[in-house]
Copies of this chain bind each other. A is one copy, B any other.
Amino acid sequence: MTNRTHRTGGGRPATHHEVRLTGRPQGPLTDDLFEVVEVPVPEPQSGQVLVRNTTMAVAAVMRTLMDEATTVPMPSFVPGEALYGSVVGEVVDAPGTDFTPGDLVEHNFGWREYALVDADGVHRRDRDQLPDPAAYLSQGPTAYMGVVRGAEVRPGDTVFVSGAAGGVGSLAGQIARLRGAGRVIGSTGSQRKADYLVGELGYDAAVIRGAGPFEEQLRKAAPEGVDAVFDNVGGEQLQAAIALANRGARIALVGALSNQLSDSGTHTTEIDTLSLVARGITLRGIALYDHLELIPEWNEVFGRGLRDGTLTFPHARLQGIQEAPRALRELVEGRHLGAVLVEL
């Protein structure tokens, strides 16, 4: 593989790079599951948009989509083909469409430097709405949906966010605060991340996974129980959240990282359903593809919050498409704070 592209005249290169899956993971992710390949830059037909991708995001769901059979209603990645995922870029050429070269757009064909996309799969973005176009790749829509529709956070609530230092969780806690939460508690995997949650992201307390019985730790952080839960993780963290849930608590289930990011393939949690009955607790599974209409609302909220300083966009940025496999591997390994982006 080379990381240099062949250019023809007119600023558009003849070739670019894409990342292909080479096989299905059997255990921990390794770099040889990915291959960076040089391919020709395609030529758009009428109704198609050629986009120069500038920044892509990696996300936990991509680990799930590397498996052949998943419970997620999205197509699995296919060995021998390029992966896909959210990306922002600039329109290069768009014959027979409403797009103009230079337009800032978002679409779902990341993991490549140039993408050819049918016009109806391309979404125009506003350069003035968010201070940084890469912020369109935040997992804020998922966080916002989970806080507002899933956990229905209300003023004064004690809120628990699991996986709080990740791309989703690092925004969920901030959004809960913005919605008037009285106390926000986050869980994460290390003291460094716990310090970050409390010091930088405005969490009131952080609980470290593995640093002792989880329920006991959470009880210390939430002596009066929890009213709303944003659950990214499942497993013992969800069990602890249920044990501490107050009457009428709402628990948004937005992920199951404890299993998604493990290699066991199981995602089950033992739940005492009678305690859900007795305390009127709701567990609401919620996924963004059922709530896409929230995205513009979130972008409004996010732009305002970034500008007035009430929200921040925690993220790491890696440089170059050849780093994309490492970005996903390190996301799975929990090495980063916030979203993980790759500049293409």
Interface residues of A (CB under 8 A from B): 70-73, 231, 234, 238, 247-248, 253-256, 259-260, 266-287, 290
B271 close to A269 (CB less than 8 A): yes
CA distance A70 to B266 in the complex (A): 30
Q: Which residue of B248, B253, B279 is within 8 Å of A277 (Cβ)?
A: B253
Taking A278-B73, A280-B285, A280-B287 as contacts, is the C-beta distance between A267 and B273 under 8 angstroms?
Answer: yes
Q: Which residue of B70, B266, B272, B286 is within 8 Å of A71 (Cβ)?
A: B272
CA distance A256 to B274 in the complex (A): 6
Q: Which one of A267, A273, A275, A280 has the highest number of Cβ atoms from chain B below 10 Å of its Cβ?
A: A273
Q: List 28 A-B contacts (CB under 8 A).
A: A71-B274, A71-B279, A73-B278, A73-B279, A234-B274, A238-B273, A248-B290, A254-B277, A256-B273, A256-B277, A259-B274, A267-B273, A268-B270, A268-B272, A268-B273, A269-B270, A269-B273, A270-B270, A276-B285, A277-B287, A278-B285, A278-B287, A280-B286, A281-B285, A282-B284, A282-B285, A283-B283, A283-B285
CA distance A231 to B283 in the complex (A): 14
Using Cβ atoms and an 8 Å threshold, which residues of chain B touch A290?
247-248, 280
